[in-house]
Amino acid sequence: MKLKVYADRMSQPSRAVIIFCKVNGINFEEIKVDLSKRQHLSEEFKEINPMEKVPAIVDGRFKLFESHAILIYLACAFPRVADHWYPADVSRTAKIHSVLDWHHSNLRQGAASFVFNTVLAPALGFPLNPQAASQAEKLLSSSLSKIESIWLKGNGRFLLGGFQPSIADLSLVCEIMQLEVLDEKDHSRILGPHKKVQQWIEDTRNATRPHFDEVHTILYKAKTKLAVQRSVRGNSETESSIKKLPSKM
Amino acid sequence: MKLKVYADRMSQPSRAVIIFCKVNGIDFEEIKVELSKRQQLSAEFKEINPMGKVPAIVDGRLKLFESHAILIYLAGAFPGVADHWYPADVSRRAKIHSVLDWHHSNLRRGAASFVLNTVLAPALGLSLNPQAAAEAEKLLSTSLSIIESIWLKGNGRFLLGGFQPSIADLSLVCEIMQLELLSEEDRSRILGPHKKVQQWIQDTRNATRPHFDEAHNILHKVKTKLAVQLSVRANSEMESSIKRVLPSKM
Ligand SMILES: N[C@@H](CCC(=O)N[C@@H](CS)C(=O)NCC(=O)O)C(=O)O
Ligand SMILES: N[C@@H](CCC(=O)N[C@@H](CS)C(=O)NCC(=O)O)C(=O)O
């Protein structure tokens, strides 16, 4: 039975898993779980992932959630995946785990909370929280600095001095890509100072094209929608009638 | 060269790594990085872990931080470690990764923030934030419910239906153990409803004794210290002169 990937492309860990499958020629069926329609809360999806989050996979009888765990599983279970994505060497694997563990409470927390509190919240019927946004910006900026000074300091173009991307590159770059929905000013204030990060995003994109671009097109559409919503909100009081965007990225 | 473990036993991921080494007979040197003295921010320790956090290890030329990554590495690199800690089977491994990934943004965030905002903050010169505490309690309680209903629902005594503990049991139980610092009232409100979690803590403790108890001794000492501080603060206005006794962040 074909691998099933439950995902919403508005979600960055979902994008990472989809890109990984495509780049590695893993045959899979993409099953859309539309967060904006709250499909992740359905009884049906709870059978797949009781945590009600995307992404999740089903491989035969095996169900799994958490994108890092999924990427590692796919790299091990599908023999065609090249070693550089998740090297067999114990020390190199360990370093990749370290980056991925760090990701959870740093880059992800900063990026997701900043985007939520600067652009997504109103679209979801929440008020913007400038204090939360400024805290998130601090965490996000210091995370980007750390990526540059610690993991991109080697000779290679990828994290940990790699000459080819690993699952950590893909996961972290997909996280950063959500900043595309920010307005120009926020985007350049945050990413502008980090030239190495910018180059690394480009390199990861090049290493995974055309799938990388194809899977990210949704972000540009969402950005336009968000801008329209903002101006509608500016011009009228009928907030409640605005069509809802996904609950959380 | 012997494995070096940089740790502060006030830190729950540090305790998990120390207990793991001891239970598995891994020969190591414990190097104390005292968070209350801000030693984690020293130039010397930054050479070991540029993130300025404990735990971290040095094994020969390899330097590594993040406790989950450390536990996985140790299980793979030291041949004496029994398979149940980190099974070789790809699917069982994947399930353990999934629990550990979930831990970061759920149980850990809830527990650490709740403890900070109900007992630790004043000792650190921070003010208690009741709103943050309330939010953290929600996340913590949901996390405990999820552990019960999803990962402890099998036949086994351990997570994912295991009959013996894995690194996920050790890591999550050490996280929950910090609730020992709470007042009796808070602790029993939060843990009381979760009988299965309580049993699982006991089972994990039994499977890793005496090292489990030895590594957790510090919590009981700190609890007493905190109580003394609280009464000192209540009795005098000289708050600023109170000697700091606690690590910056658990
Ligand atoms: N750590 C998880 C994060 C999963 C997650 O937070 N997914 C979000 C979308 S990016 C979600 O499904 N949110 C729905 C909700 O929280 O209700 C992973 O990497 O898979
Ligand atoms: N996710 C990390 C957490 C490490 C961590 O937050 N360590 C704390 C102690 S529990 C620390 O060193 N805090 C010092 C600081 O933040 O300055 C792990 O599991 O190792």
Q: Which tens digit of pLDDT belongs to each residue from A3-36?
A: 999 999 999 999 999 999 999 999 999 999 999 8
**Which of A3-7, A234-238, B16-20 bottoms out in mean pLDDT, i.e. has the lowest?**
A234-238
Selected residue with higher pLDDT from B125 and B20: B20
Superfamily of segment(s) A3-81: Glutaredoxin (3.40.30.10)
Selected residue with higher pLDDT from B124 and B69: B69
Cα distance between residue B95 and residue B160, in whole Å = 8
Q: What is the pLDDT of residue A154?
A: 79
Cα distance between residue A145 and residue A136, in whole Å = 14
**Which of A21-25, A140-144, A223-227, B11-15 bottoms out in mean pLDDT, i.e. has the lowest?**
A223-227
Interchain contact, B69 vs A109, CB within 8 Å: no
**Which of A46-50, B89-93, B182-186, B226-230 bottoms out in mean pLDDT, i.e. has the lowest?**
B226-230
Q: Which residue type sits at A145?
A: S
Q: Best of A54, A100, A102, A173 to mutate for ligand 1, by most ligand atoms within 8 A of CB?
A: A54
How high does pLDDT run on average in chain B?
Answer: 92
Q: Is the pLDDT of residue A247 over 80?
A: no
Q: How many Å lie between the alpha carbon of B216 and the closest alpha carbon of chain A?
A: 24
Q: Does B132 touch chain A (CB under 8 A)?
A: no
Instruction: Note the pLDDT tens digit of each residue in A142-183.
Output: 999 999 999 999 789 999 999 999 999 999 999 999 999 999
The residue whose C-alpha atom lies closest to atom 1 belonging to ligand 1 is A66
How high does pLDDT run on average in chain A?
Answer: 92
Mutate to test the interface with B, among A64, A93, A98 (most CBs of B within 10 A): A98
Q: What is the pLDDT of residue A235?
A: 65
Quote the distance between the C-alpha of residue A164 and its chain's center.
Answer: 20
What stretch of H or E contains A28?
Answer: strand A28-32
Mutate to test the interface with B, among A46, A90, A101 (most CBs of B within 10 A): A101
pLDDT band for B146, please (50, 70, 90 cuts): very high
B53 Cα to the center of ligand 2, angstroms: 5
B216 Cα to the center of ligand 1, angstroms: 33
Q: Does A94 touch chain B (CB under 8 A)?
A: yes
Does the N-terminal peptide bond of residue A55 adopt cis geometry, omega within 30 degrees of 0?
A: yes
| A85-225 is a CATH 3.30.565.10 domain | no
Residue of A nearest to B75 (CA): A90
According to DSSP, residue A242 is labeled S
Cα distance between residue A80 and residue B55, in whole Å = 35
Close Cβ partners of A186 (under 8 Å, ≥ 6 residues apart): A118, A179
Q: Which residue type sits at B243?
A: K
* ipTM for the predicted complex: 0.92
Averaged pLDDT, A108-116 = 96
| B89-208 is a CATH 2.60.40.790 domain | no
Q: Best of B14, B39, B249, B250 to mutate for ligand 2, by most ligand atoms within 8 A of CB?
A: B249
B168 Cα to the center of ligand 1, angstroms: 20
Residue of B nearest to A88 (CA): B76
Q: Is the CB of A55 under 6 A from ligand 1?
A: yes
Q: Is the pLDDT of residue B181 over 50?
A: yes
Q: What is the pLDDT of residue B124?
A: 77
Q: How many Å lie between the alpha carbon of A101 and the closest alpha carbon of chain B?
A: 6
The residues of chain B that CATH labels 1.20.1050.10 are 89-208
What stretch of H or E contains A63?
Answer: strand A62-65
Q: How many Å lie between the alpha carbon of A104 and the closest alpha carbon of chain B?
A: 6
Averaged pLDDT, A74-86 = 96
* Cβ–Cβ pairs < 8 A, chains A and B: 89
Q: Is the pLDDT of residue B201 over 90?
A: yes
Close Cβ partners of A179 (under 8 Å, ≥ 6 residues apart): A111, A114, A115, A186, A187, A190, A191
Give the position, in ligand 2's atom list, of the atom nearest the Cα of A102: 1
The residues of chain A that CATH labels 3.40.30.10 are 3-81
Strand intervals (E) in chain B: 3-7, 28-32, 56-59, 62-65
pLDDT band for B108, please (50, 70, 90 cuts): very high
Main-chain dihedrals φ then ψ at residue B32, nearest 5 degrees: -75, 125
Q: How many Å lie between the alpha carbon of A65 and the closest alpha carbon of chain B?
A: 6
